[in-house]
Amino acid sequence: MTKVVFLGQSSDIPKLVVQARAQYPHLQVYTEDEPGARDAEVAACWRPAHGALARFPKLRLIHAIAAGVDNILEDPALPPLPICRVVAPDLTEGMTEFILWSVLLFHRNLDQVLTNQRRRQWQRVDQEPAASRSVGILGLGTLGTHAARTLAQHGYQVRGWSRQAKQIANVRSYAGADQLDEFLAGTDILVCLLPLTDETRGILDRRLLGKLPRGAALVHCGRGGHLVSQDVLALVREGHLRGAVLDVFEVEPLDTASPLWDEPNIFVTPHIASANSITSILDQISENIRRLQADEPLQNLVDAQKGY
């Protein structure tokens, strides 16, 4: 029986523990402080406290319960072990739905309609075809590629930016720092689906967003650490950005005192762009445990050097 410890700051942890115990009798499941946890071979986590993973000397695998692993890699005492993340259709499809909603909000001028409603103002806003809007996606990985394909199927002009160039039907690919400005100059709605790494921290600042055409919109679903929120706020107030949907923040929950809450053209959502189901998280952890014990290649292994 493989011993698995679940730890970290997520309301999903207690649910994962209960369901893992009920559905995977071949696993011995522990929470962090339970007797026996010290011998765990696998740690499943979200934002573990710094140094927490180093307290398990028999660990062989660290498994994120999410897609992003920045919250694990930032631990200065992280043991040098393989790290896997969750890649699941429910998360991918959920993210695409959220992005589609956000893109439609700006493309169909529904942001203006919502403002007009608060003023009791009946005003028919312009409606343009999807093909008249260019959506640019920062990050063409699992989530960005699925969103890009779906937006292209809905008729949008779609472009994406990544480190390596991609070939995706009806999606224009831009790669690396050299092509970033050209990518931004032709983007009406910018979607961020980057992982948080040393290279991408603070990327959504005035310098980058200032290269979008005037009146562009931002949809941010990556990580709070990408966002320089005072720059976004200033650019919205100056009218350079028409608005922003912001799902992730440097500090979550977002402080009730944050001016982002009250800004008319900023839509704050509480890190709900998408989420893995408890079932898909456990399926992947259990499959990787099987692979670990059978000495087979692990699924969805993270490259700790690259940071994603």
SS (H, E, C) 140-205: CCHHHHHHHHHHHHCCCEEEEEECCCCCECCEEEEECHHHHHHHHHCCCEEEECCCCCCCCCCCEC
Q: Are 232 and 259 in contact (CB under 8 A)?
A: no
Count of residues engaged in binding ligand OXD, rule: CB under 6 A: 4
Q: Are 86 and 280 in contact (CB under 8 A)?
A: yes
Interface with ligand NDP in residues 223-252 (CB under 6 A): 223, 247-248
If one asks whether residue 66 binds ligand OXD (CB under 6 A), the answer comes out as yes
Which of 107, 223, 226, 242 does the annotation list as catalytic? 223
| Long-range residue pairs from 173-178, CB within 8 A, at least 24 positions apart, any chain | 173/140
Output the CA–CA distances (angstroms, integers) from residue 281 to 9, 16, 89, 195, 205, in the order listed. Answer: 16, 8, 11, 19, 33
Among 112, 157, 200, 284, which residue interacts with ligand NDP (rule: CB under 6 A)? Answer: 200
The distance of closest approach from Cβ of residue 58 to ligand NDP in the complex, given in angstroms and rounded to an integer, is 28
Q: Which does 144 bind (CB under 5 to 8 A by kind): ligand NDP, ligand OXD, none?
A: ligand NDP
The distance of closest approach from Cβ of residue 196 to ligand OXD in the complex, given in angstroms and rounded to an integer, is 10
Binding mask 249-288 for ligand OXD (x = CB under 6 A): --------------------------x-------------
Q: Is 271 a catalytic residue?
A: yes
DSSP E strands in the chain: the ranges are 2-8, 27-31, 42-46, 61-64, 83-84, 134-138, 157-162, 171-175, 189-192, 216-220, 241-246, 266-268
If one asks whether residue 68 binds ligand OXD (CB under 6 A), the answer comes out as yes
In the complex, residue closest to ligand NDP by CB: 141
Shorter beta-carbon distance to ligand OXD: residue 66 or 236: 66
Q: Is 63 a catalytic residue?
A: no
Which of 154, 201, 271, 291 does the annotation list as catalytic? 271
Q: Are 242 and 215 in contact (CB under 8 A)?
A: yes
- Measured from the Cβ of residue 188, the count of other Cβ atoms closer than 10 Å reads 20
If one asks whether residue 67 binds ligand OXD (CB under 6 A), the answer comes out as yes
Alpha carbon 205 to its chain's center: 18
Shorter beta-carbon distance to ligand OXD: residue 57 or 253: 253
Shorter beta-carbon distance to ligand NDP: residue 142 or 258: 142
The distance of closest approach from Cβ of residue 67 to ligand OXD in the complex, given in angstroms and rounded to an integer, is 4
Among 10, 19, 116, 142, which residue interacts with ligand NDP (rule: CB under 6 A)? Answer: 142
Q: Are 20 and 38 in contact (CB under 8 A)?
A: no
If one asks whether residue 208 binds ligand OXD (CB under 6 A), the answer comes out as no
Q: Is 68 exposed, middle or buried (0-12, 13-18, 19+ CB in 10 A)?
A: buried
If one asks whether residue 274 binds ligand NDP (CB under 6 A), the answer comes out as yes
- For residue 162 the two structure tokens come to 């990544």
The distance of closest approach from Cβ of residue 275 to ligand OXD in the complex, given in angstroms and rounded to an integer, is 6
- For residue 48 the two structure tokens come to 């573990």
> Which residues of this protein are in contact with ligand NDP, per CB under 6 A?
67-68, 91, 95, 139-144, 161-164, 193-197, 199-200, 221-223, 247-248, 271, 273-274, 308
Which residues contribute to the site for ligand OXD (CB under 6 A)?
66-68, 275
Catalytic residues: 223, 271
